[in-house]
Amino acid sequence: MSATTTPPAAAPALGAGLAGGIARSARAELLRLRRWPAVWVTLGAWMTMSVLFGYLFTYLSYTGDGTVGPGDGVASDQALLAEMMPEAVPDVFLQGMPMFGGALMMVLGALIAGNGYGWGTWKTVFSQGVRRGSGVGGSLAALTVVVVLTMAVTFALFLGLSSLIATTESQAMTWPELGSIAQAFAAGFAVLEMWALVGYLLGTLARGPALAVGLGLVWSLVVENLLRGVGSLLSWVEALTAVLPGTAAGSLVGSIIGAESNGTPGVLDVVAGDRAAVTVVAWAVLALVGSVLLVTRRDVS
């Protein structure tokens, strides 16, 4: 009489196990971020500056004395009003991202990564048996979710404000085309995600938020602008600035909304749009891979 044997249960595939671990880590990280005041302060600063520079100052100038520089005052008023209409939302949505939008996303990324070391989060998580790849993957996934949700809320807010202005000023309600919305979202996500990942890499390198935030802000707001100024005098510096993240982000946005006519700080026309897009993606991938390698290969203490 032969004994009945039960076949062993199939082990889960490595990819499925890693994906499940990343999903669980992402949910836990999103719960932490949702209850963290620093995240809401950073996102609140983004919303406030977006509304101020995107609509409030423009509307105050429009309702002022009608003179906004050289040229015909009536034509200038019409140009200001056109900038606040729903049709122009994709351009207004993009124009603040290379400067303060990218800087704030970089701050957020540095805070999320740096506090994982400062608060001992990584040490606690990995001591509970969580794989390092799953932990850092979930953290990066949560950061990406925050970036996407921030963009969606901002775009919805801009549509609401522009519709209110159009109704108040008795203007025709012309909605932006789906193609321009998709282009704005794709470019905006590339820019904000790149800066968020660069901030995450800095926070991982520094093992704390303070130094990472300081270095990131100095680089994005000061050093790159100085290098672009020196680039007009030295050709090799000019070639270097063409591959820097801030130049690439500003040029990508500038290729869509027009850097020369817009005049918004941070919006550039240094390199072509397709080359700028490739450079932005390359920086995002470099920051992503660097962060994963540092967390998985380095001691977290």
Mean pLDDT of 286-290: 95
State how far the Cα of 16 lies from the Cα of 273, in Å rounded to an integer: 37
Kindly provide the b/e burial profile for residues 186-208, where b requires at least 16 CB atoms within 10 angstroms of the residue's own CB: ebbbbbbbbbbbbbbbbbbbbbb
Q: Where are the domains of the chain?
A: 88-152+177-297
State how far the Cα of 183 lies from the Cα of 143, in Å rounded to an integer: 22
Rg from Cα positions in the chain: 23
What amino acid occupies position 297?
Answer: R
Work out the percent of the chain whose per-residue pLDDT is above 70.
88
Mean pLDDT of 194-212: 91
Mean pLDDT of 186-214: 93
C-alpha pair distances (Å), 151 with each of 96, 110, 161, 201: 12, 19, 15, 22
Mean pLDDT of 96-112: 91
User: In this predicted structure, which of 16-25, 75-84, 188-197 has the lowest mean pLDDT?
Assistant: 16-25
C-alpha pair distances (Å), 109 with each of 56, 141, 220, 254: 28, 12, 14, 24
State how far the Cα of 116 lies from the Cα of 204, in Å rounded to an integer: 9
C-alpha pair distances (Å), 150 with each of 143, 177, 233: 11, 21, 39
Q: Tell me, what's the pLDDT at 9?
A: 44
Instruction: Report the length, in residues, of the chain.
Output: 301
Mean pLDDT of 8-20: 56
Contact 102, 195 (CB under 8 A): yes
Q: Which residue has the higher pLDDT, 151 or 238?
A: 151
Orientation of helix 14-34 relative to helix 132-168, angle to 10°? 50
pLDDT (tens digit per residue) in 20-62? 888 888 898 899 899 999 999 999 999 999 999 999 999 998 8
Q: Is the pLDDT of residue 71 over 50?
A: no
Q: Tell me, what's the pLDDT at 268?
A: 86
Confidence bin at 16 (pLDDT 50/70/90): low
The number of helices, as runs of H, and strands, as runs of E, in the chain is 15, 0
